[in-house]
Amino acid sequence: MLASLRKRMAAYIRKRQGADSLPLTLARRRLYILPTRTGIGFGLLLLLMLVAGLNYANSLALFLTFLLTGFTLVTMHHCHRNLLGMQLVGATAQPTFAQRDGALHLTFENSSGSARFQIAAGVGDLPTIAADVPANGFGKVEIAVPAPKRGIVYVDRLHLITTHPFGLFRAWTWVHAPIEMLVYPRPQGAMPLPADVGNKSGERSLTNAGADEWLGLRPFRDGDSPRQVDWKAYARDAPLLVKEYSAAGAEIRIFDLANLGHLAVEDQLEQLARWVVDAEASAERYGLKLPQRSIKPGHGLEHRHQCLAALATFGLEDARGGD
């Protein structure tokens, strides 16, 4: 019953507010406020104090009751004002692997001259994470987002809430912004890297013998030779980066889905993800071959993401088209 009521209320709020786009300013008409359990208990206490003061004609008790009632009304105003005018300027979710929690990064901007305290955010009905936003500044909140399986997780319902000050009232709003988080397959599988490669070292032409092929830059690690450091980039205030090369004509691994036909589809994708992660960690050049897509051999974080993203969305386009 309660779950059904929450679902109907969520549908009503979505229809009332419509779709949101960032940056988003929290206007008055989209904010809701109600007393918390503590606030309800405090209100009942004030009611008992009022009855007792009237019954015994105790002026001091009545004065204290009215004083605390005024305090409560001011608290309600400040709780509502703590969210009013806040701006949600950014919401990004980095890719993650299946069966791990991803991270949704929210950025708030406070253009007013007073700080905003305990601005909490959460995904749907999951627990919230709170942060303070300084006056005329920015604040960031990182929220864990479950990623049970590969594909795309759509985070289209954010819960923003505050109970500051004193926790007597809760002001909140819902944000319906289209946020997507890519979920790679789990890098899992016991099979070793395939021995067959896309380019044999013996196929190198004599004109290219001894030449090195540029792979890219990577962060400096202990044990790297100073001669490999990109000192020109460091002179431009960049961090210490190391130049990576591979021997021209070195072996190139091609990870072909068709070679894993004896496994279930999800197991095939997990094994390919395992090979991609291992090959990247070993600084090897590798490519990916799927039934309707091929990725040329390469190396680096961008190439790794391209391969894993292809595995994450494999078959999903056909499934949506058939619905």
* Tens-digit pLDDT profile for residues 78-89: 999 999 999 999
Residue 188: which of 129, 125, 84, 272 has the closest Cα?
272
pLDDT of residue 215: 59
pLDDT of residue 134: 93
What does the radius of gyration of the chain's CA atoms come to, in whole angstroms?
29
pLDDT digits (tens, 9 = 90+) for 234-265: 777 777 777 766 544 456 888 888 888 888 88
Predicted TM-score of the model (pTM):
0.72
Q: Which residue has the higher pLDDT, 73 or 177?
A: 73
Domain segments of the chain as ranges: 8-182, 197-204+249-322
pLDDT of residue 95: 92
Compute the mean pLDDT over every residue in the chain, rounded to the nearest whole number. Answer: 83
Task: Classify residue 255 as left (phi > 0), alpha (psi -120 to 50) or beta.
Answer: beta
The dihedral built from the CA positions of residue 258, 260, 265 and 267, taken in this order, carries a sign that is negative
pLDDT of residue 221: 66
Q: How far is CA 288 from the centre of its chain?
A: 27
pLDDT digits (tens, 9 = 90+) for 300-319: 889 999 999 999 998 876 54
pLDDT digits (tens, 9 = 90+) for 281-292: 888 888 999 888
Segment 125-137 mean pLDDT:
89
Strand runs labelled E in the chain: 24-25, 32-35, 87-93, 96-97, 100-110, 116-123, 129-133, 137-147, 151-155, 158-162, 169-175, 179-184, 197-199, 212-219, 241-247, 252-256, 285-290, 293-298
**How would residue 220 be classed by pLDDT, with cut points 50, 70 and 90?**
confident
Q: Which residue has the higher pLDDT, 7 or 187?
A: 187
Locus of tokens 């001894």? 210
Q: How far is CA 323 from the centre of its chain?
A: 28
pLDDT of residue 321: 47
Segment 162-185 mean pLDDT:
92
pLDDT of residue 216: 66
pLDDT at 42 over 50: yes
Residues 6+ apart with CB under 8 A from 134: 110, 115
Distance CA 222, CA 230 (A): 15
Residues counted in the chain: 323
pLDDT of residue 208: 43
Reading across the β-sheet that carries 87-93, which strands appear in turn? 24-25, 87-93, 100-110, 137-147
Distance set, CA 230 to CA 210, 215, 219, 300 (Å): 22, 13, 10, 17
User: How many CA atoms lie within 13 Å of 284's alpha carbon, on the beta-carbon side?
Assistant: 20
Segment 147-174 mean pLDDT:
91
Distance set, CA 98 to CA 178, 182, 269, 278, 282 (Å): 21, 9, 11, 17, 23
The dihedral built from the CA positions of residue 197, 202, 206 and 208, taken in this order, carries a sign that is positive
pLDDT at 323 over 50: no
Q: Which residue has the higher pLDDT, 217 or 117?
A: 117
The secondary structure of residue 261, as a DSSP letter, is T
Distance CA 117, CA 164 (A): 7
